[in-house]
Each structure stands twice: as C-alpha cells, then as structure tokens.
Amino acid sequence: MKRTTTTLADGRELLYFTPDDESVPDLHDPRQLPAVHTSSQLRLDPLLDEWVMMAAHRQDRTHLPPEQDCPLCPSSNGRHTEIPAPGYSVAIFENRLPSLSMGARQPEGDLRHPLVPVRAGVGRCEVVCFTSDHHARFADLSAEQARLVVDAWADRTEELSALDGVEQVFCFENRGPEIGVTLTHPHGQIYAYPFVTPRTRRMWEVAHRYRERTGRDLHTDVIGAERSAGVRLLAETAHWVAFVPAAARWPVEVHLYPLRRVRTIPELTDAERDDFAALYLDVLRRFDRLYPTPLPYIAAWHQGPVRDEDRLGYLHLQLFSVRRAADKLKYLAGSESGMNAFVTDVLPEDVARRLREA
C-alpha cells in the first residue's frame, strides 16, 4: 500500500491510499473555503458519568444532495469536490463539520451547573471514501479493494492513537437513509475520541470481572461457545469467525472475530487482513440477499482503547441492521431508548439460518 498526503484549501489533511503500483495525481484544491469549525465541546452527564459531544455547527451539514453535487465524488469537468483528483482508490480526509476537532478550545462562559464540567471537544473526525464509484456498495468491492480499506483503517488507527488526548479510535460505516446517512456515496468515518466510549468502558468492566472470577478471557470463551454450538455460526475461515450472537439486540446482527486474539486493526497480519476482506464481503452480500432491497446497516469496529494495560480489549466487528422484516424497521422506542433495555422480535438462531441460506 502507498499513502500520499496533501491538504485541502482550508488546511484539512487529505490522504490517498493506493496499491504500490498506482500513481496519485498531485492536484491543488482551488476552492475558496471558510475556516473549519472548531467549536466542539464536551459536557459530562452527571447521572451516567458519560461525556456528551456537542457540535451545533453540524446542523448545517450537507443532506442527501443529488449525485451531480456529491462532495465525495472525484473532481471533474470544472466541478471541485472534497477530492481534488479525477479518480481515486481510497481517500480519507478531515471532516469539514466535525464532532471533534484538534483545534477545539475550552468553551467560554459558565453553565452555572456545578455537576456538569465542560471541556473542549478535542479529537479528530475523518471521512473514509471506499471507492470513487458513486453507485458502488462496500459489498461491490473486490477483495483487493476491500483489503486496501483494511490497510487504511490500520494506518489511521495507528496514527490517530498517537495524537495527544486521544483515548479511543472508532472506525465505522453507516449505510442507508434508515440509519440517518446524509451522503449516499460509499463511505465510512473514523472518530478519535478524547475519552473511552460508554460501550467500550462497559465491555472492559465486564471482561475484567470475568477474568478476576475465572482467570480466563471473556471474548475468547464467547467465541469458543459459539463455535462449539454451531447453530448461530455463519462462517469460519482460517483466521476469522462470523456468528449471530446468542443475545443479539438487533433484528439482524453478526459479529466477526479474528481467531487470534489482538486488540486493534494494526495488529492483524497480512494473512488475517486478506482473510477478513473475503469473509466480510461474503457477509455483506448475504445481508443484501436477505430481503428484496439491501439492508441498511451499521458496521462498527470495536478496538481496545489506547491505554489498555490489562489488555482486555479484543478486536471485533459488529455488523447490524434495523430492518426486522422486508417492510418493517426496528425503532428504538420506550424500553430501548428510555431504559436501554432491548426487546427483539426475532430469534438469533433463525437469523443465522436465514443468512446461511441467503
């Protein structure tokens, strides 16, 4: 893989990731752009001890523009986009309307609330363009292109983890308007948080108690139990396993784990990255064959936090959809949104069977 770094007109970083034998044009971004917003802030919810990101400027972000106005397509015919090149393999750039910014400063003023500390929303948000093809889906990528995306995730995880104040790096993809996607071009995002997220912190606490009680690794035992049971197993390769978790919360949910215990994407070997790319494409294509229309989904990489002295993190990808039937969506209503207590409408064993058959 070859990485080429440049800057956009407003100073944001843009990175091209290409195969070693592919050239990248060194093109200048001629646009006149306003300054990047750096007003993000964090406020601590005193009842849950969780940081909330606040970025009011994101109300103005582009929402489902027509294809001819897509900001993630290559620049061409005098139209200048976020990618100042006539084509690209994988491109990653700093978000123009970020939830977190390395330039964020301590907010002025007083909340007049002694239990809610406020701090600058320091961090970084990046946009990951998987391909220059506006009409493609991740599932349409070749194994080689998908592997290039994995390498790009690894590169960004390693570099962002080294930034001052970053505590966790989260790579993810939202697909489909049902999820709330605002741009239809195939892309994902990366957040470099200045805190450990609530879900990761909760998983760490549970894994810590399990290790203290049993002396064993919780994720390893979950994988072993699913492989042994087999009924929720979707696929297994030389280096990875994919299964529907026994206590799945979402109508369609699959977890992909490397069989070798690693904490982060950069720790994966070449063989493990190749194997993941092939397996992930297979799972995504099964998702799209489950109903007459492609499933909306969220693909969320769970990596260990930057500081994990006890090495309790276990890398895995959680892939899930809110579609519970061909014409029905799962809404997070009273129990889920109010109490964070999930009610599922389908059994994980049935979902696994249907995905195997898809």
Instruction: Give per-residue pLDDT as tens, 206-225.
Output: 999 999 999 999 999 999 99
For residues 352 and 283, membership in a common domain is answered with yes
Same-domain check for residues 132 and 215: no
Tens of pLDDT, residues 122-162:
999 999 999 999 999 999 999 999 999 999 999 999 999 99
Active site residues per annotation: 187
The span from the CA of 259 to the CA of 217, in Å, is 13
Q: Are 313 and 211 in contact (CB under 8 A)?
A: no
For the chain, what is the mean pLDDT?
96
Q: What is the pLDDT of residue 26?
A: 67
* β-pairing verdict for 240-243 and 233-236: antiparallel
Shared domain for 245 and 325, answered yes or no, is yes
Q: Which residues pair with 76 in a beta bridge?
A: 79
* One domain, residues 174 and 187: yes
pLDDT of residue 24: 76
- Say if CB 175 and CB 31 are below 8 A apart: no
Choose the final residue of a domain: 159, 178, 195: 195
Looking at 148, 174, 195, which one is the last position of a domain? 195
**Does the predicted model carry a pTM greater than 0.85?**
yes
Question: How confident is the model over 214-255, as pLDDT tens digits?
Answer: 999 999 999 999 999 999 999 999 999 999 999 999 999 999
Same domain, 222 and 322: yes
148, 165, 195 - which closes a domain: 195
- Domain total in the chain: 2
Residues 279, 167 within the same domain: no
* Residue 210 and residue 125 share a domain: no
Token pair of 50, please? Answer: 């969780």
Residue numbering of the annotated binding site for Zn(2+): 70, 73, 134, 185
Instruction: State whether 55 and 140 are in the same domain.
Output: yes
CATH of the domain at 305: 3.30.428.10
Annotated binding-site residue numbers:
70, 73, 134, 185
**CA proximity to 321, closest of 256, 249, 258:** 249
Query: pLDDT tens-digit profile of 54-80?
Result: 999 998 888 999 999 999 999 998 899
Segments forming the whole domain that contains residue 239: 199-357
Residues 180 and 227 in one domain: no
What's the pLDDT tens digit per position in 308-345? 989 999 999 999 999 999 999 999 999 999 999 999 99
CA gap 93, 314 in Å, rounded: 27
